[in-house]
Chains A and B, each alone.
Chain A
Amino acid sequence: MHHLTLPEAIAGTISVALLLVQLALLRSLVLAELITLYAVQSLFVALISLAVGITERSWELIVLAVLTFGAKVIILPLYMRRLSRDISTRVEIPESINVTLSLILAAAIMGTAILTAGALPLKTGEFLPQADLATTLAIVFVGFLVAILRPNALAQVIAFLTIENGLYFGTVTLAPGLPFVVGILLLIDVLIAVVVFAVLVRILVSQEASASVDVLQQLKG
């Protein structure tokens, strides 16, 4: 049975923590909690980026880690909190199926992601390549599930942002040699997505004079 070295153990623990946070997204029906969970997840991702950067002696990853921390742990959550206060008087978001069932679905999907990744004998990247790919896929898939099951625009944005977190995690652990530019662009991507969302939402709310951003179901067929 495989015994782990210390860096592997730390990376493993952080991966598990990331997965737990991703699943906790489904437990919560309160927007403020979702934002906090996102901030916590970004913190873990920044830590991993820092750890890999130090191990690989890659200044790019360290810079990215710091930028991630600043942007995703501090600035974005604050901005989104203010946004959610401005646009919505409701604290809870609606759900399409109840929490228990969504948790079970999430377990099933996570299992699929992990088994898919487990079937792939990748021997690359830092630490535990199979675990990293499994974690990345699991975070992405559960993020999709959250976006599907919570028909509220802000919740969907947060789901998308957690998917980007998972991707960043995958980039850092599986392909640390990928250009620095990609990491920066992921970050910019995230910022732009939030800005676009903010623009859309403000216009929507001012037009509809509605206090909620539950996603419309007008266009069909």
Chain B
Amino acid sequence: MKLPAFAIQAAQIFTVAFLSPLLTGVIARAEAVVAGKRGPTIFQPYRDIVKYLHKQRIKPSPSSWIFCVAPYVACGCYVTVATLIPVLTTFPLPGATYGDILGGAFVLALAGFVTAIAGLDSGSQYTDIGASRATMVGVFVEPTLIFVFFSVAYITGTDLPYAMNEALRSSAVDVLRPVHVLGLAAFFMMLLVDTGRIPIESGSATIEFGMIDDARLFEHSGPEMGLFKWGSSMKQFLLYTIFVNVLFLPMGLSSDGEVTSVVLAIVFLFLKMLIVAAVVVIIEVTYAKLRLYKITEFIATGLLVAVLATFVYVIGV
């Protein structure tokens, strides 16, 4: 039975919204298992979010309406991006015409901006530090992402995520070109940065003085905290989706809109993400967290690799 377009669109949004905590849970469990522990169940993030939704909300006195509104804006942004990128299908859905991949990057940046502002608004020192560090990191991460998208756009000849997916699926050789490989490497480095994993932040432990992303959320509580946690899961899911569907493994998506193929697409998507998650977990247990000022070196290296990708395209490799 062929699903109508808006149904698939809704399925896309639901996939992003409801599968993202599962991904977080799987990664946490995998890390623990690899480290020799038993670890929480993979459904733990769901329970955490539900728990937060029932808790009392406390607002610090110097904060304003921004503090309250920020989580909703952030989640809204993530849901918007979910409509832009190819999550389940190879053909563009109605929502995809709202923006190209750069637009998606901007919306994600908006979410990050709002979170940082909320952190500043609350007036606590920890959130201030977190917000400023996150912005500093963002200064390098955004250009890197843009360069990566440019280099992929050079190869595929287009900026729209669905079209990029199409182009990469049709010529497998192009995925192995040095331009593309360099772009993948740079994006993967930025993935580690944006989702807050080693070597940028230790995902499992909270070390206050070294935190970047998590520090911004310190002052929130109750349902807003739940929304933020959900939001960061969604962001992780989205970045993985972009990495997998647009850049790396553009197979397995539904091309005809049949119910079975859509369901299979969801399954395949999650499996592809698990591959990436496996690499992330291996890195997590192998390496140590970088010192704070060396983090800019790491990110600058990512920027350099992305720039190199663009140059390498110019010389025709």
Contact = CB atoms under 8 A, between A and B. Distances in A.
B315 A130 contact: yes
A128 B317 contact: yes
A50 interface: no
B63 interface: no
A82 interface: no
Contact of A103 (B173, B300, B314): B300
A106 interface: yes
B40 interface: no
A110 B311 contact: yes
Nearest to A24: B301
Interface in A111-152: 111, 114-115, 117-118, 128, 130-131, 134-135
B182 interface: yes
A106 to B, nearest CB: 7
Contact of A111 (B173, B176, B307): B307
Contact of B315 (A3, A100, A114): A114
Nearest to A134: B315
Q: Is the interface of B mostly helix, strand, loop or mixed?
A: helix
A120 to B, nearest CB: 11
Nearest to A6: B173
Interface string A1-42: 111100001001101100110010001000000000000000
Interface in B301-317: 301, 303-305, 307-308, 311-312, 314-317
A102 to B, nearest CB: 9
Contacts of B301: 27, 103
Given A23-B304, A100-B297, A107-B308, A115 B314 contact: yes
Interface string A53-73: 000000000000000000000
Contact of B297 (A99, A115, A117, A128): A99
A185 interface: no
Contacts of B94: none
A55 B155 CA distance: 28
A115 to B, nearest CB: 7
Interface residues of A, number: 30
A13 B296 contact: no
Contacts of B303: 103-104, 107
Q: How large is the interface on B (under 10, 10 to 19, 20 to 34, 35 or more residues)?
A: 20 to 34
A1 B157 contact: yes
Given A100-B296, A118-B315, A12 B178 contact: yes
Nearest to A19: B308
A9 B177 CA distance: 7
Interface string B257-301: 000000000000000000000000000000000000000110011
B297 A118 contact: no
Interface string B14-44: 0000000000000000000000000000000
A129 to B, nearest CB: 10
A206 B297 CA distance: 37
A131 B300 contact: no
Given A1-B157, A107-B303, A16 B317 contact: yes
A100 B303 CA distance: 10
A3 B155 CA distance: 10
Nearest to B296: A100
A74 B312 CA distance: 30
A110 B309 CA distance: 12
Contacts of B173: 3, 9
What are the 9 A-B residue pairs with the smallest beta carbon separation, nearest first? A12-B317, A131-B315, A16-B178, A100-B300, A134-B315, A107-B307, A103-B300, A114-B311, A99-B297
Interface of B: 155, 157, 173, 176-178, 181-182, 296-297, 300-301, 303-305, 307-308, 311-312, 314-317
9 contacts: A9-B173, A9-B176, A12-B178, A12-B317, A20-B305, A100-B296, A103-B300, A131-B316, A135-B315
Given A12-B312, A111-B311, A114-B311, 6 more contacts: A1-B157, A114-B314, A117-B315, A128-B316, A131-B316, A135-B315
